Structure 1
Amino acid sequence: MRDLPDDDEWTPNQLRIIGARVRAERRRQGLTQDQVWQAARIDRRTVQNVEAGREMKLGTLLRIAWVLEISPADLVR
C-alpha cells in the first residue's frame, strides 16, 4: 500500500486528466457535449464540469463511459 502524495494538487490534477480524456474521446468520435449529456441522461453542466476536471461522481463517469463505449478504466488509468 502506498501513501498519498504530500502535494494537495494531486487530486485536482488527476481530475483534469480524466476530464481531458473524456473530452478527447468525445471529440475523436465526433460527438458534441449535447449529444453526450442527452444520451447519458445527465445535466449539460455535468458534462461540462467533468471535461473541466471538476469533482465528479463515479455514477456520472460510468454513464459517460457507457455512452462513449469506452471502459471507465481507460478514462481513469
Structure 2
Amino acid sequence: MHAPDDDDWLYEHSHVLGERIRAERERKKITQERLHLGAGISRNVLQLIESGRHNPTLFTLLRIARVLDVPLADLVR
C-alpha cells in the first residue's frame, strides 16, 4: 500500500470523527457539559475534537465512547 505524500487525509478523518461524536451526542440529547465532564476532559478540548481540530488520545476516545454508550468502532470506522 502506498502512503499519501501529505497528511490531508488525516485531517479529513479528524473532521469526520468529530462530526460522528457530535452527531451521536446530539442524537442521544447529551450536552457538551455532560460529555466533557463524564469523559474527564475540558469543554474546550471536546469542542476542538468535535470540530476536527484536535488529535484525541485513544484513552480520550474510549472515555467519550463510554459516555455516549457506543462502541469505539462506531466513532472511528
TM-score normalised according to structure 1 size: 0.90
* Alpha-carbon distance, 1:8 to partner: 2.6
Give the superposed CA RMSD.
1.1
TM superposition shift of 1:3: 2.9
Cross-structure match for 2:74: 74
Alignment deviations for residues 28-52 of structure 1 (CA, whole Å, 9 cap, x no partner): 0011101101111211111111101
Give unpaired runs (5+ residues) of structure 2. none
Q: Identity of counterpart residues, as a percentage?
A: 46
Structure 1 outlier segments of 4+, above 4 Å:
none
Give the Cα separation in 1 of the matches to 2:5 and 2:72: 27
Please state how far the C-alpha of 1:7 moved relative to its aligned partner: 4.2
Structure 1 counterpart of 2:8: 9
1:41 aligns with 2:34: no
Aligned residues: 76
In structure 1, the gaps of 5 or more residues are none
